[in-house]
């Protein structure tokens, strides 16, 4: 009797959720074994992680602040992945969004806050949109591999900001330290319930993406093109135009992340504003199954993992590498669960019975 994997014809939502939950539980069990070898009580470690992320009003605020860039970036990546466009350039687009915000903030520091912030978002959207349009144009015009071109754009953006940080935009009052000036108070996003308004922007954008992808003509065309360009051609869709719209919109969302991080978190521009969010957003969008609402939930969980991981380093004296390993193991198991969602174990005899049924029906 042979055992092999066969592709599932269909799977219920209940089974899909169950497989993902089992994957997460297995990840925590594996890491629990590691904590035991480090002479730490795994249950105590996990409780401390939860407390570090949600144990106080301040920790909850910090978790939400960390979730905002993850969620908005994931929304941008979701739009691109619907098109089967693999936008690896989120990091560069975030940086250029921050650049657009800084360009306005540095040149018009005394402008009234509402006007200044709106201009910062418009400028960030413009520059990040351009940054996304360039590899998108190459994809549409010459079928260039976007994985390579968007990744290359990341390095260009990073080196450009490094040049500004060490050169033209270097703060004269930094005593030789390579940093840019801080934004004026008018250029800093206001707080709502003790948290910057980025969390409200995240919710609004999630609703927008859900409506855009599921209830608009362009959103429907994006899904069709992602599934089959031949079908889209047969239906008379303008593939190039729709593709560019999706690609630029994806980049603009990432750029909005850059504006928020530069204004509300860093309150200046630096090469550190991304914090790897551009890459993590890809994972979040994938785990959320390209669902904008679920992306918010997954982003909060990821942020909790980051905050809790930092907390247990102090509480248990666990090295930073172990905290990073915990995140990696959970990601590995969750992503690995996608295989079991798409495939199942099958016996050789079962396959023969299915073939016999088909033959008898014919």
pLDDT band at 3 (very low <50, low <70, confident <90, very high): low
Q: Which two tokens stand for residue 234?
A: 């047969």
Q: How far apart are CA 76 and CA 94, in angstroms?
A: 11
State whether the Cα torsion 182-184-190-191 is positive or negative.
positive
- Of the candidate ranges 69-78, 121-130, 175-184, the one whose mean pLDDT is the lowest: 175-184
Q: What pLDDT, on the 0 to 100 scale, is given for residue 99?
A: 98
Cβ proximity of 186 and 109 under 8 Å: yes
Closest C-alpha to 326, from 308, 340, 338 = 308
Q: Is the predicted pLDDT of residue 358 greater than 70, yes or no?
A: no
State the DSSP code for 86.
-
Alpha carbon distances (Å) from 315 to 51, 58, 71: 11, 17, 28
User: Which residues touch 80 (CB under 8 Å, ≥6 apart)?
Assistant: 86, 87, 246, 247, 250
Measured distance between the N- and C-terminal CA atoms of the chain, rounded to whole angstroms: 27
Q: Is the predicted pLDDT of residue 362 greater than 60, yes or no?
A: no
- Of the candidate ranges 100-114, 139-153, 286-300, 305-319, the one whose mean pLDDT is the lowest: 305-319
Tell which phi-psi region holds residue 184, choosing left (phi > 0), alpha (psi between -120 and 50) or beta.
beta
Q: How far apart are CA 75 and CA 60, in angstroms?
A: 22
Q: How far apart are CA 200 and CA 135, in angstroms?
A: 30
Q: Is the predicted pLDDT of residue 361 greater than 50, yes or no?
A: no
Q: What average pLDDT does the structure give for the chain? A: 89
Block residue for tokens 């050789």: 348
Task: Write the pLDDT tens digit of every residue in 226-248.
Answer: 999 999 999 999 999 999 999 99
Q: How far apart are CA 292 and CA 92, in angstroms?
A: 22
Tell which phi-psi region holds residue 275, choosing left (phi > 0), alpha (psi between -120 and 50) or beta.
left
Q: Is the predicted pLDDT of residue 223 greater than 60, yes or no?
A: yes
Pairing between strand 195-196 and 191-192?
Answer: antiparallel
Cβ proximity of 271 and 95 under 8 Å: yes
Q: Is the predicted pLDDT of residue 351 greater than 70, yes or no?
A: no
pLDDT band at 359 (very low <50, low <70, confident <90, very high): very low
pLDDT band at 360 (very low <50, low <70, confident <90, very high): very low
Mind listing the domains of the chain with CATH numbers?
A: 56-304 (1.10.3470.10)
Q: What pLDDT, on the 0 to 100 scale, is given for residue 2?
A: 64
pLDDT band at 357 (very low <50, low <70, confident <90, very high): very low
pLDDT band at 5 (very low <50, low <70, confident <90, very high): confident
Check: pTM over 0.95? Answer yes or no. no
Task: Tell me the β-bridge partners of 344.
Answer: 6
Per the model's pLDDT, the better-predicted residue between 321 and 44 turns out to be: 44
Closest C-alpha to 336, from 9, 30, 109, 1 = 30
């Amino acid at each position: 009797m042979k055992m092999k994997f066969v592709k599932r014809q269909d799977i219920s939502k209940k089974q899909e959720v169950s497989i993902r939950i089992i994957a997460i539980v297995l990840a925590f069990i594996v890491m629990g074994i590691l904590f035991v070898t480090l002479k730490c009580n795994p249950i105590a470690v996990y409780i401390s992680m939860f407390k570090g992320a949600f144990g106080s009003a301040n920790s909850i605020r910090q978790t939400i602040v960390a979730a905002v860039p993850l969620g908005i970036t994931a929304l941008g990546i979701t739009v691109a992945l619907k098109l089967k466009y693999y936008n690896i350039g989120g990091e560069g687009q975030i940086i250029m969004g921050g650049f657009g915000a800084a360009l306005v903030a540095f040149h018009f520091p005394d402008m009234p806050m509402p006007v200044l912030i709106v201009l910062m978002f418009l400028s960030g959207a413009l520059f990040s949109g351009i940054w996304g349009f360039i590899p998108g144009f190459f994809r549409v015009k010459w079928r260039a591999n976007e994985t390579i071109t968007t990744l290359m754009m990341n390095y260009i953006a990073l080196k450009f900001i490094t040049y500004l940080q060490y050169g033209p935009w270097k703060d004269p009052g930094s005593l030789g330290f390579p940093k840019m000036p801080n934004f004026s108070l008018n250029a800093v996003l206001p707080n709502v319930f003790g948290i910057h308004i980025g969390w409200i922007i995240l919710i609004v954008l999630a609703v927008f993406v859900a409506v855009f992808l599921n209830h608009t003509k362009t959103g429907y065309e994006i899904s069709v093109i992602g599934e089959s360009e031949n079908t889209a051609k047969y239906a008379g869709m303008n593939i190039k135009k729709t593709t560019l719209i999706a690609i630029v919109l994806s980049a603009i969302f990432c750029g909005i992340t850059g504006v928020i991080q530069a204004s509300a978190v860093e309150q200046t521009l630096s090469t550190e504003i991304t914090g790897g969010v551009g890459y993590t957003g890809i994972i979040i969008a994938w785990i959320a199954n390209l669902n904008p609402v679920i992306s918010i939930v997954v982003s909060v969980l990821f942020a909790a993992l980051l905050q809790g991981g930092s907390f247990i380093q102090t509480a248990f004296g666990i090295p930073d590498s172990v905290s990073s390993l915990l995140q990696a193991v959970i990601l590995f198991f969750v992503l690995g669960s996608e295989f079991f969602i798409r495939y199942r174990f099958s016996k050789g005899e079962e396959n023969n019975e299915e073939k016999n049924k088909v033959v008898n029906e014919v």
